[in-house]
Structure 1
Amino acid sequence: MSAPPPVNLGEELKDAFKPVNTWDIQVSNGIAWLDDLQSFYRERAAIEKEYAGKLNALSKRFHEKKSRKSASLTVGDTPQMTPGSLESASLTTWTTILNTTELLATEHDTLSNSLTTEVADTLKSLSTRYDDYRKRHESLAQKLLSERDGVYSDLNKCKSKYDSECKDVEEKRQKVDKSYDSSKTKAQKSYQNELVEMNNVKNTYILQIAAANRHKQRYFHEDLPDIINSLQDLNETRVAKVNGLWTLGTELENKCHQNSIELLNTQLSEITRNLPVLDSGIFSQHNVGGWVEPVDFVFEPSPIWHDNPDLVIDEPAQIYLRNILAKSRNNSKMLKVEVEKRGKDIVQLSERWDAVKMNESEVQKEIDIARALLYQKEQILPHAYQLLTCEVEIDVVLNAVGDVARGTQSHNFKSTSFKIPTDCDLCGERIWGLTSKGFTCSDCGYSCHAKCEMKVPAACPGVLDKAAKKALKEENKVSLKTASSELDLPGEGLTRSVTVTSTTSTLAPRGTGAKLTKSPSISGASVTSTAPTTAAPSLVPSVATTTAPTRRVIAPPPERYIAPPPVEDSPPGSPASSRPTSSRDGGESGKMLYTFTATGDGEVTVTEGTAITIIEDDGGWMQVRLANGEEGIVPTSYVQKIEKKSRGPPPPVRPRGMKKPEKKVKALYAYEAGGDDEASMAEGEEFVVIERDVGGWVKVKTRFGEGLVPGTYVTDV
């Protein structure tokens, strides 16, 4: 008999893990069937003592069982084509065994004992082991599906974030239309910054689309076929082992029934014809369906901001893409090492599995290898998926703008907790908070917000000493001040550009001498743009103002950041006690934390502790009214707002002794701390949450203290 052609279920049955797994569970071709075989031989051993009558009844009963399950055991529960009267090779062999049993009317104690110890007990062990293997395959399949759905979920989040950014850009543009005088330059700057942020979010969205498509392709063409083929191998190995046990039982019977030797030889020949691949072949033939691969994901323009699917490659975007390229390259190097290491382990374990899977004398070794192999396949998934994402990002960026990272030196950023007021070296704004709100280059000392990390140009000068780092800080401040002065030029316009268009606009930086006035002066607009002649026209005219000298408000020393007592607690006769705490016209109330001396038109001099009424707050400056009716602007950071006391019912009191429920997270993966402020964790370990969203990290309480862990490595309990 010639060997049948090989069957590869992973290639022939697309996206079919569930039906294959269901088929594998069935009695004929799955784990449950081994229990039937075990029951058969145990009952057979007992009945052998009661001679032929009992044997005939047993054979008839198992014929009926087989008939009821014949179709599902042959082609599964939901075949694409019904088999009719056709049975699998294993069922045909089983029928021969039952027919032969009807002719073996006598049995004795030796045969009974042999069937129990050498066949039935082995089947029980085989059933237990293979049920464990099948469950681990299910776990691995669920892990694959979870990883794929996680990538799809990330894509949906990127799409939502892109739509939100487009909406924010449009709102900023409308604010530019409605603003006037000095507030217009600020609105223009806010709009330009939001436009840059939208382009970066768009690029992230496009990169995520490419990654999702590549992950989808891997799931349907690599990972899923691999686990289906593994199930096929498991099933065929089990069939081969059952063949061996059938052969053993038949040989035992042959010794005791010399008069039935001819029938038993026929039974042996039927068993040898039951090749494991035959059952897989008939199942495959009756379950081939019209599977169609899902279409690739495509870029969906926002209904608010219509755009094309190309990457934005203007100067700010190239900085962002350059940082993505450098980070993806660094990550891919580390991930490749891990993937290659685990890949070698999987190859070695697969070879060891092939060597021991048919050897019943090394059952424990088989169990250890099977578990280790499935564990390694599960553990390689997160690293392989992250590596695939990095490779996609590298390919997409290189194809769009070339190797923009060549000849550059990226900063060696580390998450940092700033204990003193520190300005961002990129945008010049304060990095607030004592937790990890930003990053610092461990080589040159460059500091920035977490949100500014990917916007920082790759121009690290390398490792510097303390004096050089301080000099570089001063140089950055001068550069920011110069850039702010250059932006504060009259007559510049703002354009809404297409994807590959760069625009130049005049946006007054926060902290300069811009004033809040009531008399706007609007002049014509001039546009500076590198867009082609088909680019969208300028949407907003620029504001012509007299350029004021650049000033930066110097905050008080750190010891003065502690606020004075509330106004109502001031001693009688003090300036604070003589001021109103709320506005007659409904405005917010506040008080001065520090004394401010006016240095220009529109400003007002106010002493520390003075009560004020807030008329308008643009985030940097605040227009206020004093008790004597005088109005003017003061820095927002110099004012503390006073909330009105609520006259509603008091808040409910927590019962004494009842603690506030603690938020907990569970580690999805193991993590080794990379710094003093981080915490190591093992997979499955649980922690109490202290603070969330710390620059993409989560601050948790461990048995050793407090520390940071990656936000993507944990999930809520």
Structure 2
Amino acid sequence: MSADLSIGNEIKDAFKETHKWVQNNLKWLKDIEQFYTERAKLEREYSERLSRLSAEYFNKKSSTSVPISVGDTPTTTPGSVEAAGVVAWNEILSQTDMISKDHNQLSSDFENHVANQLSGLFTKLDMTLSKITGFNNDMASKKDNIYHELEKAKKDYDEACSTMEIARNRCTKASNDRNKKKLNEKEVEMNKCKNEYLIRINQANRTKDKYYFQDVPEVLDLLQDVNEAKTLFLNDLWLKAASVENDLGSRVSKRLESANSVVKQNKPSLNTAIFIKHNLKNWKEPQDFTYKPSPVWHDDEKFAVPSSAEVDDLRIKLAKAENDYNSLQDKAQNELSRLSALNKIKHEMKTNEDKVNATKFYDTLKDYLTVISPFTSHETLKLQAEVQIESIQNNVPEEYDLSTDNIDLSKSKKKSGIFSKLKLNILNVESRPSSGGSTSSGNGGPLHITSLFNTSRRTRLGVATNNNGEDGDNASVHTSGTGDTTKTAQTYNDDGGNKVLYAYVKQDNDEISISPGDKISLVARDTGSGWTKINNDDTGEMGLVPTTYIRISSTAVAAVNGRGPAPEVPPPRRSTLPVRTMEAVYAYEAQGDDEISIDVGDVITVVRGDDGSGWTYGECDGQKGLFPTSYCK
């Protein structure tokens, strides 16, 4: 048993294989139980035959005691006195009879303390395995339901588009007030369906990531714990069987000592290690869900918010999501604290596997299983609410009010919306400018369609996306700063050429660094990803930079568009979560390649928070790795 071995971390999406492996191990307990049942039967038969043999020779001894002791015709009757040889023989027969009773006791011990215990152990662990299976099925069902809701949203959207197209054709043929009103109603309904579809895409993608990178590994580790608990209990029973048999004599004891040495070497971690070694496989993550345009209407992946009607619908969705998130956050946090404590106990026991108590380990496993099921369910629901909040807050133009204070959610008690200002500061990138520019469309009017906020873990969150695919006079930086936006916008308009607005240090190989004053030229315009491909004429480098950090003249954009298709834009950027730091309270020395050493007072940037294992993944002094969460504050 090793705290460093985790099937969930090593083998991806392997519930079927791991479950079958654990199931085989539990069924094996029935074979071992049958062995000790048959062994107990043999010992009982041997005891009975040995007892009969002793009684038979006791009778013979009684009839031959006198002749052997004193002869056939003694002059004096010896009475109860027997010859020394007969006394010795009597002792041998007496001890043999006791040995027969010892074998009978061994038979009872094998039956009561080993075979029956194995039967109960199988029943107990099999029930636990069934609970884990139910937990896995429940998670898979929730994931499938979310996928189903995505398919339903797509179907509704396509139907709304078809209806809209029919209404548009009627209005074209007969442009009267009635048809115009009907057309407007159908367009609003179509836009609502589209927004719902986009939200479902984000929810499905985030749920998929959580399922394959959090939920499934959790189930696999639970299966691992069940199998390791089986080994601990089995070792105890084997040692018990050896102990009762060891009392029979030194010869049996020597043979059992050899067996005990092998049993003691049967560490739970060895079973896990060999399983991992023979079950490694090439695995490819399922592709993210992508927006599929309707064949008769919208052909882009942007939110449709041309009027307040669509915004009102999104505000209701936002209010519901905020309400759900708030209620689930407290539940999930309390459950996470309990899981962290249980994980710490499990880790300590696995670290000292030679001294681990099987019952305590199994009880900890049961407690963990009791908490993990509701925690995972609440986390999934919270994730859906969070994605819905992010999708709406980051894709509705700033001129629309997304306040949810006046939303009545079916007479339910409204909680204060903690996300009412997320549009300005959610997932704010540290390197971003502290003041932002105004947002406007090409003609000075409001932007009616904004770029889809990609919530995939591979998208660089927090970087404002240019809504029109180019910067020009439409440069927009959404931050929580209070700078003079009017002045900033005026500055943009004064310069008609390409310009670097803010310094940026590259973070990937396909990016380049830029500084204010650098001369730049456009290579490929922003297609809605939030990134523009340019050439830094001062350094000679070519690559991607955030669209909001530069200004590209409309002349340059037109020139690129006139040269034919723009070069292929790199894949979406990786995720950048809100910057969070922790301070080391205790020093810790790394114990493996995946860990980092920390000293008291070190400030560590959190890359991935504690998932309940008691470990946090962070970066300190340029090194990334795991460190104990409890060592920091």
TM-score, normalization by structure 2: 0.52
Deviation at 1:402?
6.6
Q: What does residue 695 of structure 1 align with?
A: none
> CA–CA distance in 2 between the matches of 1:199 and 1:406?
18
Q: 1:204 to 1:498 in 2, by over 3 A?
A: same
Alignment of 1:13 with 2:11, yes or no, is yes
Residue 7 of structure 2 aligns with an amino acid whose one-letter code is L
> CA–CA distance in 2 between the matches of 1:130 and 1:415?
46
Q: What does residue 307 of structure 1 align with?
A: 299
Q: 1:190 to 1:353 in 2, by over 3 A?
A: same
- SS of 1:303's partner is coil
> CA–CA distance in 2 between the matches of 1:342 and 1:106?
55
> CA–CA distance in 1 between the matches of 2:409 and 2:321?
16
> CA–CA distance in 1 between the matches of 2:183 and 2:450?
18
Superposed CA deviations along residues 612-659 of structure 1, whole A, max 9, x for unmatched, are: xxxxxxxxxxxxxxxxxxxxxxxxxxxxxxxxxxxxxxxxxxxxxxxx
> CA–CA distance in 2 between the matches of 1:360 and 1:500?
58
Q: What does residue 596 of structure 2 align with?
A: none
Superposed CA deviations along residues 190-222 of structure 1, whole A, max 9, x for unmatched, are: 112211221121111111101100000000000
- SS of 2:394's partner is helix
> CA–CA distance in 2 between the matches of 1:150 and 1:5?
35
Deviation at 1:166?
0.4
Q: 1:409 to 1:289 in 2, by over 3 A?
A: closer
- SS of 1:299's partner is coil
Out of 205, 225, 230, the residue aligned to residue 222 of structure 2 is 230
Superposed CA deviations along residues 219-270 of structure 1, whole A, max 9, x for unmatched, are: 0000111011011011011112111211121122222131233322221111
> CA–CA distance in 2 between the matches of 1:407 and 1:281?
53
> CA–CA distance in 2 between the matches of 1:382 and 1:40?
43
Q: What does residue 188 of structure 1 align with?
A: 180
Alignment of 1:388 with 2:383, yes or no, is yes
Deviation at 1:403?
7.0
Out of 277, 288, 293, the residue aligned to residue 280 of structure 2 is 288
> CA–CA distance in 1 between the matches of 2:366 and 2:317?
38
- SS of 1:401's partner is coil
Q: What does residue 172 of structure 1 align with?
A: 167
Residue 164 of structure 2 aligns with an amino acid whose one-letter code is V
Q: Structure 2 matches for 1:552-563, cutoff 5 A?
A: none
Q: What does residue 113 of structure 1 align with?
A: 108
Out of 134, 145, 153, the residue aligned to residue 148 of structure 2 is 153
Residues 390-399 or 146-155, more deviating: 390-399
- SS of 1:36's partner is helix
Deviation at 1:281?
1.4
- SS of 1:400's partner is coil
Residue 135 of structure 2 aligns with an amino acid whose one-letter code is L
Q: 1:49, 1:107 within 8 Å by CA — same for their partners in 2?
A: no
Deviation at 1:113?
2.0
- SS of 2:295's partner is coil
Q: 1:129 to 1:402 in 2, by over 3 A?
A: farther
Q: What does residue 329 of structure 1 align with?
A: 322
Q: 2:139, 2:377 within 8 Å by CA — same for their partners in 1?
A: no
Q: 2:43, 2:103 within 8 Å by CA — same for their partners in 1?
A: yes
Alignment of 1:123 with 2:118, yes or no, is yes
Q: Structure 2 matches for 1:235-246, cutoff 5 A?
A: 235-246=227-238
Out of 138, 141, 144, the residue aligned to residue 143 of structure 1 is 138
Superposed CA deviations along residues 132-158 of structure 1, whole A, max 9, x for unmatched, are: 101111111110110000000000000
> CA–CA distance in 1 between the matches of 2:6 and 2:358?
26
Residue 133 of structure 2 aligns with an amino acid whose one-letter code is E
Q: What does residue 163 of structure 1 align with?
A: 158
> CA–CA distance in 2 between the matches of 1:139 and 1:37?
27
> CA–CA distance in 2 between the matches of 1:403 and 1:196?
20
Instruction: In structure 2, list runs of 5 or more residues that go unmatched.
Output: 50-99, 351-355, 415-446, 452-466, 471-633
Q: 1:20 to 1:211 in 2, by over 3 A?
A: same
Residue 108 of structure 2 aligns with an amino acid whose one-letter code is N
Q: 2:397, 2:450 within 8 Å by CA — same for their partners in 1?
A: no
> CA–CA distance in 2 between the matches of 1:161 and 1:335?
29
Q: 1:355 to 1:173 in 2, by over 3 A?
A: same
Q: 1:242 to 1:403 in 2, by over 3 A?
A: farther
Paired residues, number: 367
> CA–CA distance in 2 between the matches of 1:120 and 1:300?
61
Superposed CA deviations along residues 542-571 of structure 1, whole A, max 9, x for unmatched, are: xxxxxxxxxxxxxxxxxxxxxxxxxxxxxx
Q: 1:172, 1:191 within 8 Å by CA — same for their partners in 2?
A: yes
Q: 1:156 to 1:303 in 2, by over 3 A?
A: same
Superposed CA deviations along residues 469-501 of structure 1, whole A, max 9, x for unmatched, are: xxxxxxxxxxxxxxxxxxxxxxxxxxxx99569
Q: Structure 2 matches for 1:247-286, cutoff 5 A?
A: 247-286=239-278
Deviation at 1:129?
0.7
Superposed CA deviations along residues 49-104 of structure 1, whole A, max 9, x for unmatched, are: 4459x9xxxxxxxxxxxxxxxxxxxxxxxxxxxxxxxxxxxxxxxxxxxxxxxxxx
Superposed CA deviations along residues 99-130 of structure 1, whole A, max 9, x for unmatched, are: xxxxxx99722222222222222212211110
> CA–CA distance in 1 between the matches of 2:142 and 2:286?
17
Q: What does residue 80 of structure 2 align with?
A: none
Q: 1:285 to 1:388 in 2, by over 3 A?
A: same
- SS of 1:151's partner is helix
Superposed CA deviations along residues 519-557 of structure 1, whole A, max 9, x for unmatched, are: xxxxxxxxxxxx99x9xxxxxxxxxxxxxxxxxxxxxxx
Q: 1:51, 1:106 within 8 Å by CA — same for their partners in 2?
A: no
Q: Structure 2 matches for 1:171-570, cutoff 5 A?
A: 171-180=166-175, 184-316=176-308, 317-347=310-340, 359=357, 373-401=368-396, 408=403, 410-413=405-408, 415=410, 499=449
Q: 1:278 to 1:371 in 2, by over 3 A?
A: closer
Q: 1:371 to 1:174 in 2, by over 3 A?
A: same
Q: 1:346 to 1:6 in 2, by over 3 A?
A: closer
Residue 290 of structure 1 aligns with an amino acid whose one-letter code is N
Q: 1:325, 1:405 within 8 Å by CA — same for their partners in 2?
A: no
Instruction: In structure 1, list runs of 5 or more residues that go unmatched.
Output: 55-104, 417-438, 443-496, 502-530, 535-717
Residue 257 of structure 1 aligns with an amino acid whose one-letter code is G
Q: 1:307, 1:498 within 8 Å by CA — same for their partners in 2?
A: no
Residues 167-176 or 189-198, more deviating: 189-198
Deviation at 1:303?
1.0
Residue 331 of structure 1 aligns with an amino acid whose one-letter code is D
Q: 1:308, 1:499 within 8 Å by CA — same for their partners in 2?
A: no
Residue 47 of structure 1 aligns with an amino acid whose one-letter code is L
Q: 2:321, 2:389 within 8 Å by CA — same for their partners in 1?
A: yes
Q: 1:106 to 1:8 in 2, by over 3 A?
A: farther
> CA–CA distance in 2 between the matches of 1:219 and 1:359?
32
Deviation at 1:16?
1.0
More helix by share: 2
Superposed CA deviations along residues 382-436 of structure 1, whole A, max 9, x for unmatched, are: 43222101111222223323777878453342549xxxxxxxxxxxxxxxxxxxx
Q: 1:355 to 1:44 in 2, by over 3 A?
A: farther
Q: What does residue 435 of structure 2 align with?
A: none
Q: 1:326, 1:405 within 8 Å by CA — same for their partners in 2?
A: no
Q: Structure 2 matches for 1:96-111, cutoff 5 A?
A: 108-111=103-106
Percent identity reads 29
Q: 2:3, 2:347 within 8 Å by CA — same for their partners in 1?
A: no
> CA–CA distance in 1 between the matches of 2:125 and 2:404?
54
> CA–CA distance in 2 between the matches of 1:404 and 1:160?
31
Q: What does residue 25 of structure 1 align with?
A: 23
- SS of 1:311's partner is strand
Q: 1:208 to 1:410 in 2, by over 3 A?
A: same
Q: CA RMSD in A?
A: 3.7
